[in-house]
Structure 1
């Protein structure tokens, strides 16, 4: 007796020339994440995209004080970039920015890691007190923090000068001007940037450390690993994605720091505390060379974007290899 073949499932069998319900469902599921982030992406594109495009266009124009009255800003293409890159002062400012950024990020990562470890080991009330202090520092506007810093190190009435004079180790510092020396001024500005950026680094690292299973440390202890070994082979590898994000963000924020430099020294003395952010501002608004200032800003954006892409790809490759 011949058996009849089972009838095709009308629900699952695709129609001739069409797409089955399962494939359509998969298509909707794959598009759902993009639809959910689309509103935020559009807002960011409008808010951030337009200024960057306008800045890029301005960097190819000759826009100076004359253009403000005549409205004429002819395109000079790469002339602004050639002039900026051919200026020896730009390269001095670039190396100074690199040195300050390297010092700031290094101090932030080391001190932030130590404070995050401290948060894990102190009692509950001490952890709460330290967290509140960090949040208050984070919430303080940078302008207010820079003005307080300026008052603390003021030559005649500064609290720091008075305290150091009372100690007597460094002699009479009641009339010492910290900001007249470029090395001392850069050191104080670096400390201000680190102090202001520590809360974000500490709280982020503390959250990351709390996600590492304690069983891994227990197993390492049974194998005879010491504190340095556990940090090197467990803590740092487990925190690698968070550390990568923190380093990229802190590099961007340190390079773009403008307020502490401008409030405390305005790039002085004799331009020896000028960084890329201050250099771009003074070129545009002090020298009235808006095209040149835009070119400096675009070079800064390009350098930061190249660093971010290179560093993130390098970290991803290291994770894939391991």
Structure 2
């Protein structure tokens, strides 16, 4: 009796089999982004990570002049932080830093937006000339700009005193020393900081404003919207990410501002223009209390980190509601 094999019905193929080579290729593709950013991460850890860790360690040590020669310092825990928080000078410096930062950032954002709006409406050659002037101001080193500012307001030969005296606006200011008065000295420092940082803010806002389609504004005008309404409902929402980045950057740069204050007043008169950056420098290098200076720097970093995280989360929540 012959045995014949009956053909079996073909089974439908529902999917491709997973081959080992394909799995390895997919794994390599997933790891490729991490491999590409790995050198940058390593560089950041070496350049920024180590100094931060060393700063944290130093803030918990009694590191003084003796430690510079011996390399040894006693561990004091949070004593440095307790000392600076109980210091009345530190509280005054912290309040002054907040006022200084708020005024600088407010002026920069308002003037930057107005200047960017002006650049949108002028002719091409005026825009080019204005942009070149802004870039030159931005490219000038801060030390050089501060020295020019110092010469302008020099009591005997400063051009600002000479001009104001000629205009008879405030009387005879031939020998007037602006930097011997705390409020006026701080005002000049704020003015210098705003003047130096305005090009970056204005040009960044101008670039962001140029990415908004004019058809949105035309449609809004056809619907009867005025300038304020288009600004509120079109310009601000679409520029919100750029405005957020600019605000965070300017807050960080204003809090850490050191060169204009140190060159113009060195924190004087009587410490009335001292901010956190200058106060940390004076504590560490003038008083030779490196541990307390490091703790002031750590507090500054923590304040900026908390502000940045809170500000970004608030903006994210507002974006989700919209």
Name the TM-score, length of structure 1 as normaliser: 0.95
- Counterpart of 2:11? 5
How far off its partner does 1:14 sit? 2.1
The CA distance in 2 between the partners of 1:98 and 1:163, in whole Å, is: 33
Could you say which residue in structure 2 is the equivalent of 1:116?
116
CA distance in 1, matches of 2:133, 2:108: 17
Report how far residue 37 of structure 1 moved. 1.8
> Hey, what does 1:49 align to over in structure 2?
49
Question: 1:106-151: CA deviations, max 9, x gaps?
Answer: 0000000011111111111111101111111111110001000000
Contact 1:104 1:193 in 2 (8 A): yes
Aligned residues: 316
Q: What's the CA shift string for 1:265-319, capped at 9, x where partnerless?
A: 0000000000000000000000000000000000000000111111111111111
Q: Match for residue 145 of structure 1?
A: 145
Q: Determine the structure 2 residue equivalent to 1:135.
A: 135
Distance 1:315 1:28 in 2: 36
For residues 100 and 283 of structure 2, the distance between their equivalents in structure 1, rounded to whole angstroms, comes to: 21
Question: After superposition, where does 1:17-32 map in structure 2 within 5 Å?
Answer: 21=22, 25-32=25-32
Q: What is residue 36 of structure 1 aligned with on the other side?
A: 36
Gaps of 5+ in 1: none
CA distance in 1, matches of 2:213, 2:109: 22
RMSD: 1.6
Per-residue CA deviation, residues 234-264 of structure 1 (Å, 9 max, x unaligned), is: 0000000000000000000000000000000
| Paired residues for 1:99-248 under 5 Å | 99-248=99-248
Tell me how far apart the structure 2 counterparts of residues 233 and 63 of structure 1 sit (CA, whole Å). 55
Q: Which has the larger radius of gyration?
A: 2
Match of 1:14 among 18, 35, 41: 18
> Is residue 277 of structure 2 the alignment partner of residue 277 of structure 1?
yes
Bigger mean CA offset, 172-181 vs 41-50? 41-50
1:155-206 CA-to-partner distances (Å, cap 9, x unmatched) read: 0000000000000121000111100000000000001111111111111101
Query: How far does residue 77 in structure 1 lie from its aligned partner after superposition?
Result: 0.8
Contact 1:155 1:177 in 2 (8 A): yes
1:13–1:20 contact (8 Å) kept in structure 2: no
Q: Structure 2 unaligned runs (5+)?
A: 1-6
Instruction: Note closer, same or farther for the CA distance 1:73–1:154 as it changes in structure 2 (3 Å cut).
Output: same
